[in-house]
Amino acid sequence: MAKVFPEESNLVSKAALPRRLVAMLYDTLICVALMLATTGIYMAISSSIAGSENYERMVEAGATTNDPLLSSILFITLYGFFGYFWTRTGQTLGMQVWHIRIQNKNAVSISWLQALLRFLMAIISLLCFGLGFLWMLIDKDGMSWHDRFSESVVVRIPKKARS
């Protein structure tokens, strides 16, 4: 069920690129830790299934490099992290610190589909050397590629109105 955010429209404003990038840096640190933990759990499970000696030989031979199952699990884990926060409160942990939130234009939380579209386009934006993020500097509405693609906006919210 979509959450309606309580702030009046005159209390929120578009989040500027520097604020968005610093929040993204915070979230990157959290995501690195999450991926390390997920990889550790995956390796422990794989080692117990294959046997520790066999798994060690596989690692030494490079057989575990570019594991598509691990890559898929990491992708789903990261999408789950962002999707959970974006659809629930509109804010990841880094966004909470920097008082910004993702929402629909009518101040309602985004859907899981919007979160997926946003997540995928943000990856593409990063792979294009950040061009999708920089786009907001020339966009008439100040929106990035992933804002437009997911039909969502990132707003700066007052400190007292945090979710």
DSSP 108: B
- Report how far residue 112's alpha carbon sits from residue 120's, in angstroms, rounded to the nearest whole number: 12
Q: Map tokens 């840096």 to a residue.
A: 25
The encoded tokens of residue 115 equal 């979160």
Given a cut of 60, whether residue 92 has pLDDT beyond it is yes
Given a cut of 50, whether residue 161 has pLDDT beyond it is no
- Per-domain boundaries in the chain: 9-30+67-161
Task: Tell me the pTM.
Answer: 0.88
Q: Mind listing the pLDDT tens digit for each residue in 4-60?
A: 887 766 678 899 999 999 999 999 999 999 999 999 999 999 888 888 888 888 888
